[in-house]
Amino acid sequence: MTDMTGTQALTQDHWIAGPMGKLFARSWQHGAPVRRAPIVLLHDSLGCVALWGTFAQTLAHATKRRVIAYDRAGFGASDARTDRLGAGFVRDEAERFFPALCEQLGVERFIAFGHSVGGGMAVECAAQHAGQCDALVTEAAQTFVEDRTLAGIRAAREQFRDPAQFARLARYHGDKTQWVLDAWIETWLSPEFADWSLNAVLPRVSCPTLAIHGSLDEYGTRAHPERIAARVSGPGRAAIMEGVRHVPHREQEAQVAAMVAEFLQTLDD
pLDDT digits (tens, 9 = 90+) for 162-207: 999 999 999 999 999 999 999 999 999 999 999 999 999 999 999 9
Domain with 48, as residue range(s), is: 10-268
Domains identified in the chain, total number: 1
Residues 6+ apart with CB under 8 A from 32: none
Q: Where are the alpha helices (DSSP H) in 140-252?
A: 147-159, 163-173, 177-188, 223-231, 248-251
Question: Cα(37)–Cα(40) distance, rounded to whole angstroms?
Answer: 9
Question: Cα(237)–Cα(71) distance, rounded to whole angstroms?
Answer: 28
Question: Cα(71)–Cα(20) distance, rounded to whole angstroms?
Answer: 12
Structural domain includes residue 1 = no
Structural domain includes residue 3 = no
Question: Cα(86)–Cα(176) distance, rounded to whole angstroms?
Answer: 18
Structural domain includes residue 4 = no
* pLDDT recorded at residue 31: 76
Give CA angle at 219 (48, 153), nearest 5°: 75
Question: Cα(13)–Cα(50) distance, rounded to whole angstroms?
Answer: 12
* pLDDT recorded at residue 267: 82
- CATH number of the domain encompassing residue 163: 3.40.50.1820
Whole-model pTM: value is 0.95
Q: What is the pLDDT of residues 142-151, one digit of tens each?
A: 999 999 999 9
Structural domain includes residue 192 = yes
* pLDDT recorded at residue 263: 98
* pLDDT recorded at residue 34: 72
Give me the residues of the chain with pLDDT under 50, please.
none
Structural domain includes residue 2 = no
